[in-house]
Amino acid sequence: MSILLAVSAAFLGLVVLVVKALIVDEARGRVQRRVAASLEATIASLPIEIQEEWAEEWRGELAAAISMPWTAFAYVRNVRESAEQLVVAKALELVLTETARASARAEGWSRQSIESEQRRSRDLRTGRLRARNWALTYLIKHRDSLLVLACVVMIVAAGWTMLTFPSYVLGTVAMLVLLGGIAALWSRAYD
Amino acid sequence: MDDIGAVRMTTQMLAVLSVMVAEPTGEWYGLELTQRAGLRPGTIYPILDRLLKAGWLDRRWEEINPVVEGRPQRRLYRLTGAGAPAARRALDEHLASLRRAGSRPPVAPRPRPGVA
């Protein structure tokens, strides 16, 4: 009987290990594919000249960072911003020099397309800044109400945790942790 | 004398140049430079682009067999003959301006209203 139990436990352990490994590999693969697809989308949205100049380098550097998901995500996000700056720099360069103007026309750039690219990039940055400013202003303006709301939510969560936890000791510890969180939040908000 | 253009200096650019000036004949790839200069990953390319266009840097593809090495080729950047002294000058000027700012007498605080 004990041998049967030991064999079953070993088999179950093995199954758990295999399933866990599969899940981890699957998740990692999905993240990597998503990050790579995001970089490819960024590259595809760029003028052909900038693609030729930078795409291979970005792909290579992403390949070096792909095993670190957070770094890879940050890399792709920052490359997108860098690409916008490169496009604007290229557009400016084309606008500013006479000889470049001729080559710009030869490459299919027109003054309108350059200006619209500059406008698009500026609007994008202005839009982001405006959204960030709005969020900050909202937070500052409604700081008191938001803090009260956060406290109410945390107290309800603390009460619920205390009542539903299997052990009252654990529930009390959880409640104390939550109350500590409220105190920390409060002290930071009014620092 | 090589033809070299002026570059608008930013804090990030000075950080990149300080890494490169520390070893003027060295070659670096983008991620390595980013890490050494303490920049966020992926933010270095506009800086490299400006330095390349101004003639401070040149670049080449690493000569390796990606299959043998098990990684893609890297693009290596290095200071040009004219870029190295220009970078050193830019860093010296920046340090001098910091020193000047540090040697200025501190601004006296304004008296608070109601305090004698």
Give the Cα separation of A100 and A41 in Å (integer).
28
Query: Do the Cβ atoms of A63 and B71 come within 8 Å?
Result: yes
Give the Cβ contact number of residue A151 at 10 Å.
Answer: 17
> Which of A57, A59, A77 to mutate to test binding with chain B, by most B CBs within 10 Å of its CB?
A57
Query: What kind of fold does domain B11-98 have according to CATH?
Result: Arc Repressor Mutant, subunit A (1.10.10)
Confidence at residue B116, expressed as pLDDT on a 0 to 100 scale: 46
pLDDT (tens digit per residue) in A140-184: 777 778 878 877 887 777 777 667 766 667 767 777 777 787 777
Q: Which of A28-32, A166-170, B92-96 has the lowest mean pLDDT?
A: A166-170
Confidence at residue A182, expressed as pLDDT on a 0 to 100 scale: 73
Look at A182 and B84; give whichever has higher pLDDT: B84
8 A C-beta contact, residue A55 and residue A76: no
Domain boundaries, chain B: 11-98
Sheet (strand B57-61) strand order = B28-29, B75-79, B57-61
Query: Do the Cβ atoms of B53 and A60 come within 8 Å?
Result: no
> Which of A53, A61, A88 to mutate to test binding with chain B, by most B CBs within 10 Å of its CB?
A61
Distance from CA of A187 to the nearest CA of B (A): 27
Is A86 an 8 Å CB contact of chain B?
yes
Out of B31, B49, B75, the one facing A86 most closely (by C-beta) is: B49
8 A C-beta contact, residue B29 and residue B76: yes
- Over pLDDT 90: what percentage of chain B? 66
Question: What mean pLDDT is predicted for residues B12-28?
Answer: 93
Is A76 an 8 Å CB contact of chain B?
yes
Does the pLDDT at position A131 exceed 50? yes
8 A C-beta contact, residue A91 and residue B54: no
Confidence at residue B36, expressed as pLDDT on a 0 to 100 scale: 93
pLDDT bin (cut points 50, 70, 90) of residue B46 is very high
Give the Cβ contact number of residue A106 at 10 Å.
Answer: 8
pLDDT (tens digit per residue) in A115-125: 777 677 777 77
Look at B116 and A14; give whichever has higher pLDDT: A14
Rg (CA), chain A: 27
Question: What mean pLDDT is predicted for residues A59-67?
Answer: 90
pLDDT bin (cut points 50, 70, 90) of residue B1 is very low
Question: What mean pLDDT is predicted for residues A36-65?
Answer: 92
pTM of the predicted structure, to 2 decimals: 0.61
Q: Which of A71-75, A116-120, A135-139, A142-146 has the lowest mean pLDDT?
A: A116-120
DSSP lists the bridge partners of residue B58 as B78
Confidence at residue A96, expressed as pLDDT on a 0 to 100 scale: 67
Chain-centre distance for alpha carbon A97: 38
